[in-house]
Every structure is written in C-alpha cells, then in structure tokens.
Structure 1
Amino acid sequence: MDVNSLRRLLASQSDDTLRMMNTEIVAELRKRQGLKQQRAMIEIQIGEVYEFYAAKKGCNVRVRVKQVNRTTVTATELDARGRETFMSWRVSPSLLKPAEEPLAA
C-alpha cells in the first residue's frame, strides 16, 4: 500500500476507529521490539567485547559486557588499547554489535 492510499484510508475513518487502530499498532510495535531484544539478549556473552553507537558521544563506543539483565546490558567502556575505563553503560541488547576489529596490543 502506498502512502497516499493509506492517507485516504485513514481520513475516511472515525476518531474512535483511529484510536483503536493506534492502540493495536503500538501494541504490535512493542511486541516486535521485545522479540528483537530477546533475540539479541540470547547472543550476548558476559566478558565479550561489543560496539554500539552512543548518541551522547556522537561515535561508536567499544565495551566489555559485565552483566546481562532482563532488559538491559551493563558494560564498561574500553579505551583504544582495550583497557577498561571508569565509564559504565547500560544499553539495550539490540544496540550491541560484536566488535569488528581486534583491540590494539
């Protein structure tokens, strides 16, 4: 379905129908996000090195996983040599990607 067809369909619906549709759409998106997090959580290993994009820093951050909780992963940031820093991160497992290049010696 293209965007214009969708807009016409939505414009023809009552407010109550749109609210019901919104509730169902939000529920489906939450379910999908939960499944995505569960799949990502299964692959996360404590002690392994991962990367994620940190919007606060505006760059990728390399971390070593310390703890895996039900919804988040706690990890310690690594410097360029692979040494742990004092910066700790708590992130969604779906944001973590295995580190691609080996750490500098």
Structure 2
Amino acid sequence: MVDGDWTMVDENFSTLSLSQSELEHISMELANKGPHKSQVQLRYLLHIFMEAGCLEWCVVIGLILREANIIKQVVNLLESPDVPAEIIQSIRSGLLAVDAWASSDW
C-alpha cells in the first residue's frame, strides 16, 4: 500500500485508489448524514413534536439533523405570547449547555 493511499477492489477486480484525506472526507459525509431511514424518522418525530408544541425536543432534533432552519422556526415560535417563559428559559439553557459542551469538547 502506498503511503497515504487506500486501495479498494470491486467485484470485477478493478482498483480504485483514494487518498487518505478523500476516504476520511467520504466517511465523515456518511457519518454526518446517517442512514436515510433515520432522517425520515427524525423528521416525522419533528413534525409530531412541532404539532404538540414540544419546542425543546424540536431544538434537539434540529441540532441532530444540523438544520439551522428548524432552530430558526422554533425561535420564531418562541416570539408568540402563548409560549410559557419556562419553555423559553429551558431552550435557552439547553442551547447554552450545548454551546459550552461544543466549546470544551470540540
């Protein structure tokens, strides 16, 4: 094996060489996206939680899916006078905790 290259062989025995950085990039893409079925299930849960008004869980799902538009949608909903102050404070505390964790562990 050449330093920094990985060789993959398909069923026809033709070879495809990838650099280690290309392989890591592909692996990260797959890891970040997760299986399609999981994304569909998370989006279904998001829909249910959004309908039920479980905004804290909507934020968690938005973070897992890495979709800023979900977080933005929840923040827009927080501007409603119908949302209790406890929920707003809970979401704020949760986001601050995630930020602190990301800053210290990443």
Structure possessing the higher relative contact order (Cα contacts under 8 Å, 6 or more residues apart): 1
TM range (shorter): 0.3 to 0.5
The normalised TM-score by structure 1 is: 0.35
Greater helix share, structure number: 2
The normalised TM-score by structure 2 is: 0.34
Greater strand share, structure number: 1
